[in-house]
Chains A and B, each alone.
Chain A
Amino acid sequence: MSDVSQPAAHPPVTDWVNDFDHTDPQWTKDPFPIWDEMRAASPVVHTERFLGCYMPTTYEAVREIANDTKHFSSRRIIVRDVRPEITSRNAAPPITSDPPEHKPAKQLLLPPFTPDAMKKLEPRMRAICNELIDGFIADGKVDAAARYSKYIPVQAIAHMLGIPESDSDLFIKWIHMILELGIKDESKLLQAVQEMSAYFIAHIEARKNKPTDDLISYLMNAKDKEGNPLEDSHVLGSLRLLLIAGIDTTWSAIGSSLWHLARTPVDRERLIAEPEVMPTAVEELLRAYSPVTMAREVVKETTISGCPVKAGNMVLLSFPAANRDPKVFPDADKVVIDRRENRHAAFGLGIHRCVGSNLARMEMQIALEEWLKRIPDFRLDPAGTVTWSQGTVRGPRQLPFLLGKAM
């Protein structure tokens, strides 16, 4: 085995069905035809890479796995080159929890993220979007990923956690180290987790003398079923989760939506003329460009959609691939902004449904509304390049736009 601290080189993929790799540059650039090829071959495909990994390719197979917590564990939620020992049951609860620990950990986080709770955040969100737009609108061009979509979720979650929005760049750095560099380089992941933990421990300490009205204090004051406060490691794990899960997911969803609108003037014009279509459009953009692929670990042999799966392998649980399944979504590869029937799985299915889904929906809607109000005309800058993130979360990382009407 190679030294785990060395990023492993992955040979390019030539056989997607039997040797897939979700970190391959071709996948990063345009995964949709790859998923179609895999889906046509089998509802569940397998690769020897990543120490053995399955991927369900149909909506039904994804759903079966998401609902089966007996054979599939959430203790590992990212498919990576290595599988170090699980040393803490509080890695990032509840996303890394299995039943029966999962339910109480999740219930703790749900109340602050209900649709009603999100409504109260709306004015701050609109202000954040407009402050960002103020920063570049006069330039006539912008990297919308780097200067707009990236900062909306990071400032929103900082606002909710009660940590300085001005530390945003630090949070973004950690998330990049965990979700992208960390797939192949264990040391980057560990370094980011340590820095993040130290950061939160300082904030927890500060609140011990001076309680505040934010999510950190909320978790510190929370009680378990027996009425005892949460273990410190649980508070810390949940804070890590909220920061990691809240940021580049929504950054990606907003970025992909803007990318779509930049290339599709009819949809843009329709959303400006008929703002009431926006909620349906947001759902459709979530379906078509779902950012998040989760993982599971097979802990007991079973069968999924007729395909046997063996314990010890990981599962790349691709909600984005499920959302492109033509059996469930007619014209699955088309973006239909007024699609009425849309039971997409962008926020996962089953008990691990994203806690932040109501927040993410609100952020997306407001980010697009405020953008379109002030920048109704924009297009891709032919002099620039759009780049996409690699791995677990998919979204544009460079999104060069020209603003205003084309001359």
Chain B
Amino acid sequence: MTERLRVHVDPDKCQGHARCKALAPELFELDEYGNAHEAGDGTVPPGLEDKVWLAKANCPEIAIDVIEE
């Protein structure tokens, strides 16, 4: 069974620490204020699973959700 991951940044919690972008540049984008949102629809391409968990574990605001589908 292949597991698909989707990532979502809660914009109300994100304070722009930019850790997610530093650790997983493929999965996050920053707006002009430096606040993050997921790239595209948040689907995590195969091979980037490690990075998404790492970003989640490093977000000081606990703003990143990883959804296993």
Contacts and interface: CB of A to CB of B under 8 A. Distances in A.
Interface of A: 107, 110-111, 113-116, 279, 283, 340-345, 347, 349-351, 353, 357-358
Contacts of A353: 15-17, 60-61
Contacts of B15: 349-351, 353
A115 B60 contact: no
Given A110-B34, A115-B30, A340-B54, A349 B61 contact: yes
A332 to B, nearest CB: 16
Contacts, number: 54
Contact of B58 (A111, A114, A341): A341
Interface residues of B, number: 18
A344 B34 contact: no
Nearest to A279: B22
A358 B60 contact: no
Contacts of B33: 107, 110-111, 114
B57 interface: yes
Contacts of A358: 18, 34
A320 to B, nearest CB: 14
A116 B59 CA distance: 19
A342 B58 contact: yes
A342 B55 CA distance: 10
Interface in B14-66: 15-19, 21-22, 30, 32-34, 54, 57-62
A113 B34 contact: yes
Contact of A114 (B19, B30, B54, B60): B30
A390 B67 CA distance: 45
B57 A343 contact: yes
Contacts of A344: 60
Given A340-B57, A343-B59, A114 B32 contact: yes
Nearest to A339: B58
A347 B17 CA distance: 8
Contacts of A110: 16, 32-34
A341 B57 contact: yes
